[in-house]
Structures are given as structure tokens and as C-alpha cells.
Amino acid sequence: MSKKKIITGDILKDAIKGAFIKLNPKYMMKNPVMFVVEIGFVITLFLTFFPYVFGDKGENIRGYNGLVSFILLITVLFANFAEAVAEGRGKAQAESLKKSRTDAIAKLLDSKGNFKLINAAKLKKGDIVLVETGDFIPNDGEVIEGLASVDESAITGESAPVLKESGGDFGSVTGGTKVVSDWLKVEITVTPGESFLDKMIKLVEGASRKKSPNEIALSTLLVALTIIFLIVIVTLYPMANYSKVTIQVSTLIALLVCLIPTTIGGLLSAIGIAGMDRVTRFNVIAMSGKAVEACGDVDTMILDKTGTITYGNRLAAEFIPVGRHTLEELRTEALISSIKDTTPEGKSVIELAKKQGVSINEDDYKDAEFVEFTAQTRMSGMNLSNGVQIRKGASDSIIKYVEKINGKAPTDLEAAVIRVASAGGTPLTVCVGNEIFGVIYLKDTVKPGLTARFARLREMGIKTIMCTGDNPLTAATIAREAGVDDFVAECKPEDKIAVIKKEQDLGKLVAMTGDGTNDAPALAMADVGIAMNSGTTAAKEAANMVDLDSDPTKILEVVEIGKQLLITRGALTTFSIANDVAKYFAIIPAMFAVGIARMNVLNIMGLSTPHSAILSALIFNAIIIPALIPITMKGVKYTPMKSEALLRRNLLIYGLGGLIAPFVGIKLLDLAVTPLLRILNLG
């Protein structure tokens, strides 16, 4: 994650301006806790000029009311400032994204293949455009023809260009990216203003941010606490009069503001915005705050093997003949089956066979029909012009294929498959007609460091499930080496959906990654679906997060960011409520000490005068909000541990800290405020 300053000069200037703009009551009503503080400011400001409306008396009462009013205004401004800072960081990133959105000129193709130049803003969904070297892709779309390198650094920050081609999972292109070599024909899949880049800009600006369920629940709790303390303060006034104790209305308002959870109320929105900002700075676009929080509650993580747990570059490493067939025969047939196979595996078979001395005339097979691999058949191959059919694929699929045409698997095939699978490789079985010639050993490698990362997830209480199309033996070997908790072998797209549904039926939240169109249903069903930016449009539309770097393992870090968001909110809520307890011991004794001498027993801080005690508590209540902005922006550091240990740690740090900090802070402020009040004759 890129490390940047929490507050830059531009963000500071905009945040100060935003703090005043947000004083608008229409906006403040969205935050009930701070709206109560603003109402308190208006009342005390009125009493500064008309102190006798409620019967307030006393020397220099106007000056006292004015100070209370000023501090309440500062409190609201600080809360607005915290939110504006969080929004400012998002807007700064949005500005950099807007720079990549150019008023491009598109080459619109007609039915005859000719193009005319038009403004990209005039393109419609379904239009076909030509983009050549140096051209910007005018809008989101799918490649329908061509092969080209595309520079996506404006969006992903990654300098290396990526290869885009028609078909497969790398046919999706994003508006604002640039073709650096060759050409593409692209079918536009969105209307202007609804591109992926447009959505990103709205999201990082915060314009589309909605409160998550947890945030709504906490807001409801804060409102309930505010109402309870409001009732307490209203009843306290007649009780004080009955006890022959005179309490100014401004003092009651000060008590209310100090007792309601103003700290978390002022920071709550900023915490949510900052959480989305941290995910965005990690080059992941969250489609909602709910998605980020859901990451923190994830119980089960479903991961593809290829490209996530392993590097995915399964390359042919060895030919293993079976039955009565020779090594030379297997090499030749494997090479023929791969002539038109453009996958990395197919290319590696050709390379290995040629390296071992096999030579054929590829022109002899130009009329042959290539049979592509599918998740259902789990095999590919060639139908030669002479009627011969060659297939290579998963062992069980090939066995079923030859048995359908009266063939039989050699007795030594199982041993060859087990040998490859036991080594963690993928066995690719080759057959010609109804005869199995042998096995190709495809070698894959588990990414280093994954075992430790999966162990960290286990400490968080998250179960990891690996999904792979490999046979059970290969899957078990890779799962054991990687350290995942469970695996699903010979997994088809519908199997992923079944796994997600099974876990959700147990009451668990499920996360998964994907990039292909066949992953879209599972991504939509998962509670957290992270689509790769290099993947298809269908996958990105189905997911609630998009990884701009197309790194499937990033889901591990995203889960930690989600947990950090939840912990930050919980920690600051604990700190805020603990603060209120300490402020109670500052204000209550000060309010009643004049009329009830015994109340001085509760003045455990030894505060100088009632006015200094109230103003010191009120000032501390205001300045603690900006003091906590760095924690709000960065988040509380998350360390994997059991929930009980995590709760104890946060109670010790933020609960106990929330109790101690006000005692120290209010006492220091009292020492500073008392001389000032004497000068103003308010002591």
C-alpha cells in the first residue's frame, strides 16, 4: 500500500473550508449526535446576548456563555473537519483518476470495416471501434478481434503493459487505457458516464458511499444514548432547583455535550470513509462500504489454485508413455494435439516435444479441426482430416472418452497419474482414438510465503478452501503444501456455487476471487467477491470489489483491512464512552459544589473552580476529536489473534486509556484555563 501524508496542504485547505460548509443544518441532521451539539451552540450563542431569558444570573454570565458557545462551535467544526479530511483524501485520488479520463477521439467502425472519427462521448453501447498503437481506448468494452499490449498504468499504477486479446478472461478493456502496440477491435459495453473509471471516481470521491449495516447499528446506539442523556439533563434542571442549586442553561448544555458520545459521533463517518480509502489506496475499488466491512467478518475464503495459490504457469516437464506405446509415439501425438492450442500449457507441450527431437510438418494439419478445452469436458485436442481424433486432458475425462468408443485404459496408467499427482504436478493424459498413449507431466509451483499467510488467516478464525480442476490426488498434494484447510478437486463453476451456498447455510460469510465469465455467478453469490481488473466485464459487474492489480492473493490483505476497519470503529467507540465517564467526574461536582458542599468529595481531579472545570472538560471534549484523526485515517493496527485476546487488548488500551486521558488532559487544561478566567473575571 502506498504511504502518503495523512493531510497535505491542499487537503487541509479544502477540509477547513468543508468544515464550515458542513455547518448547514440540512447536512448536520445526518449526524444526530453532532446536530445536538450544533443546537447547543445556537442556544448558548443566543444566551450570550440574552442571558436572562432563562433566568441565568451571575457576574459576567455573558462572557461565560460566550466561551461555552465558542467551544461548542469548535467541537462541531473539528468533527466536520475530520470527515472533510477523510473525504479530501478520496477526492485527491479522484482528481488523479480524472486526469486519465481524456476527451478521446474514437475510430467508429461501420459494417464494411471503414472507420470515421467521432468524439468518444458520442459512443453508444454496442458500437465497435478500432484502437491502434498510441490510441486511448475510448470506453469500456470487450475485444472482439486482434491482439495488443495495453498500458493500464493510469488506472492500476502498474507500469508494465498487459496483453489483451479476444476471447478468454483477458478480453475486457477499460476506457482511458492506452494501446502501446498492435491493434484491437473493441465492442463498447457501457454508455458514456457509466464506465468503470467513472464509477471509480464517484466511489473514491465518496459520492456513492452508503452507511454499512454495522455503521447504521452503531449510529442507532449513539442516537439512543444521546436521547437518554438528553432526558437526564432535562430532569436534572428541576432537581437542581429543588435542591436550591442554581445551574445555568449553558452549563447543562455543556454537561450534555460532554456526556453524549461526541468523540465517536464526530469520527464515525470519517472512519467509514477512511476504511474505503485504505482499500482504494491498496488498488482495490470497493463498490460499497458494506463490502469493506464484510471483509472484516469473513469466515470462509474460497481461492482458485491456479494463479492464486500456485503461479499458474503449468508447463510440460516430462512425457510418460503407458501401455504398449513408446516415448516417441507419445511425444509426436502430444505435439500434434497441441499445434492449435494457444494456452501456455499447449505451447509448453510443443516446446518440450521439439526440444526432445520431435519434428513434424505443421502444414499437414492446417485443415484439422481444433477442439477447445471446456470446464465441462476438461479436455482439448484435434480432429484430423483422416478421421483420427486426438485428445489430451484430465485422466478421468480421457478414460470416459475412450471407454465410450470401446477403448480401455492401460493397467499402468493409474501408476503414472499417481506419480505425477504425488509430486504436486498435473497429469495430462493423451489418447488417439480409443487408445491411451501416456501422460504429460505439467509442473506448477506453490507461491512462497503462502503457508505463513494461511496460518495467519487460521489465527483470525478464517477457513480457507482451495478450488481446482485437478484430480483429488494432485489437489491434496498442493493443498498440503500450501497449508489450506480444505479443497475441492475437479471443481466446475457450479461446484464453486455449491461450496459457497454450503458455507452460507452454516451461517458463515464467504469471500472469493475470480476473473472469468464462468466465475460471475459465484462472485455474485459470495458475500465478498473480488474480481480481477484483467478479467471479463461480467466478472467485474458481479463482484462487489475490483482488484486493479489483478492479484488474486490480495484478498488476504483486503480481509485484514476489513478487520482493521471494524477494530478501529470498536476501539474509538470504547475510547469515547470511557471518556464520558471521566468527564462526568469533572462536571457533576463542579455543577453542585456551590450549593451542596459534600459534592466536593467527587472532585477527585482537584479542579479549581466550577467554571474552569466545565470549560476544561468542554475544551478536552473538542480537541480530542482532531487528536484522533491520525488513528481514524490510518486505522488501529490489526494483529491476528483470538477474539477474546483482541477484546482484552482493546479494552486495556482504549478502554483504560479513555478513562485516564481525560483525567490528565482536563487537569492540565484546568491549570491553563484558571488564570485566564481570573483575568476575564469569570473565576
Per-residue pLDDT at 5 exceeds 80: no
Give strand pairing partners of 145: 185
Residue ranges and CATH numbers for the domains of the chain are 9-93+203-280+559-680 (no CATH), 105-202 (2.70.150.10), 284-309+447-548 (3.40.50.1000), 311-445 (3.40.1110.10)
CB 247 within 8 A of CB 590: no
Mean pLDDT in residue range 465-488: 86
The 10s digit of each residue's pLDDT in 435-445 is 999 999 988 77
Cα 293 to Cα 566: distance, rounded to the nearest angstrom: 7
CB 480 within 8 A of CB 305: no
CB 71 within 8 A of CB 258: no
Annotated binding residue at 379?
Answer: yes
Annotated binding residue at 293?
Answer: no
Cell numbers at 1, concatenated: 500500500
CA atoms within 13 A on the CB side of 674: 12
Cell numbers at 565, concatenated: 476497519
* DSSP code for 306: B
DSSP-based three-state secondary structure for 325: coil
Catalytic residues: 304
Cα 161 to Cα 642: distance, rounded to the nearest angstrom: 42
Mean pLDDT in residue range 562-569: 87
| DSSP string across 274-300 | HHHHHHHHTTEEES-HHHHHHHHT--E
Could you tell me which residue, 121 or 32, shows the higher pLDDT? 32
Annotated binding residue at 380?
Answer: yes
pLDDT at 38: 95
Strands (E), 386-515: 389-393, 426-432, 435-443, 463-467, 486-488, 510-514
Query: What is the pTM (predicted TM-score) of this model?
Result: 0.66
Binning pLDDT at 50, 70 and 90, where does residue 619 land?
very high
Annotated binding residue at 585?
Answer: no
Cα 549 to Cα 282: distance, rounded to the nearest angstrom: 9
Q: Is the dihedral of CA 211, 213, 216, 222 positive or negative?
A: negative
Q: Which one-letter amino acid corresponds to residue 349?
A: V
Cα 410 to Cα 435: distance, rounded to the nearest angstrom: 9
Annotated binding residue at 345?
Answer: yes
The separation between the first and the last C-alpha atoms of the chain, rounded to the nearest angstrom, is 52
Percent of the chain whose pLDDT exceeds 70:
89
Give strand pairing partners of 238: none
CB 226 within 8 A of CB 266: no
Annotated binding residue at 375?
Answer: yes
Contacts 24+ apart (CB under 8 A), 244-249: 244/595, 245/591, 245/592, 245/594, 245/595, 245/596, 246/57, 246/594, 246/595, 247/591, 248/56, 248/58, 248/61, 248/64, 248/65, 249/43, 249/44, 249/47, 249/54, 249/56
Q: At which residue does the C-alpha cell 493423451 appear? A: 430
Strands (E), 388-509: 389-393, 426-432, 435-443, 463-467, 486-488
Per-residue pLDDT at 170 exceeds 70: no
Please state, rounded to an integer, the average pLDDT across all residues of the chain.
83
Q: Which residues contact 335 (CB under 8 A, 6 or more apart)?
A: 349, 350, 353, 354, 358, 360
Annotated binding residue at 374?
Answer: yes
Could you tell me which residue, 255 or 333, shows the higher pLDDT? 333
Q: Which residues contact 406 (CB under 8 A, 6 or more apart)?
A: 434
Which helix (DSSP H) or strand (DSSP E) does residue 164 occupy? strand 162-165
| DSSP string across 55-108 | T--STTHHHHHHHHHHHHHHHHHHHHHHHHHHHHHHHHHHHHHHHH---PEEEE
Query: Alpha-carbon dihedral of residues 276, 278, 280, 281, nearest 10 degrees?
Result: 160
Annotated binding residue at 373?
Answer: yes
| DSSP string across 572-628 | HHHHHHHHHHHHHHHHHHHHHTTT-GGGGGG-TT--S-HHHHHHHHHHHHHHHHHHT
Could you tell me which residue, 245 or 485, shows the higher pLDDT? 485
Per-residue pLDDT at 94 exceeds 60: no
Binning pLDDT at 50, 70 and 90, where does residue 13 land?
confident
Cα 583 to Cα 596: distance, rounded to the nearest angstrom: 19
Binning pLDDT at 50, 70 and 90, where does residue 207 land?
very low
Annotated binding residue at 341?
Answer: yes
